Amino acid sequence: MDRSTAMGFEIPAASLQSFISLSVVLFIPIYDRIFVPLARALTGEPAGITLLQRIGSGMVLSTISLVIAAVVEMRRLKIAEEYGLLDKPNVMAPMSVWWLVPQYALYGLADVFTMVGLQEFFYDQMPNELRSVGLALYLSIFGVGSFLSSFLISAIENLTSGDGRDSWFANNLNRAHLDYFFLLLAVLSAMGLTLYVCCTKYYIYARWGRTF
């Protein structure tokens, strides 16, 4: 993709991940100073929305970011095909790298809701003597997620490669199908969100005898 800017500077490909951190730094004060007071006025909750609602909102945003990533990748593959670049992976496609920024920014916003919400939830729901255990459970999410991610990538690579076919993760990205992978992750996220809503309803009913 075209990584040049108007100032003649070329954005390093590896630095795109920094947009996630930048969006987190940007959105946290916006969330604290703007969103929470507005939500508090509407809901009456001291924090604007409950911790469970905050986590769920982050999961929704994460799913949307995956859908956007899939759409952008479909667009990039279409451009590569139109310009005859399918077998020229080292040739720059005439598509700006700024198309990738919205998905990174939205993923950072999802982190503001989900990751911070999870940390507060595990810390808040534990007795004082076990709060370190709650934080350990929170951190274990990243480890379990990494194992599941590695398993998923290995399984997809084995299923989609072979017999002369290009896998979803082929070295030639113009022949690969990262768009399919993003859509699969979006579907899995939607399923996880559905399960989360069902479990949350049961948790609230079991603890307080009411639903949402």
Residue 28 one-letter amino acid = I
pLDDT, one tens digit per residue, over 86-122 is 989 888 889 999 999 999 999 999 998 998 888 888 8
- What residue ranges in 41-178 does DSSP mark as E strands? none
The pLDDT > 70 percentage for the chain reads 95
- Whether the per-residue pLDDT at 208 is higher than 60: the answer is no
| Residue 207, CA distances (Å) to 90, 136, 139, 148, 198 in order | 57, 23, 25, 31, 14
Tell the CATH topology of 13-208.
Growth Hormone; Chain: A; (1.20.1250)
Helix 18-30 with 101-124: angle, nearest 10 deg: 60
**Residue found under tokens 């709060």:** 131
171 Cβ neighbours under 8 A, 6+ residues apart: 89
Give the predicted TM-score (pTM) of the model. Answer: 0.88
What per-residue confidence (pLDDT) applies to 48?
Answer: 87
Find which of 60-69, 90-99, 199-208 is predicted with most confidence, using mean pLDDT. Answer: 60-69
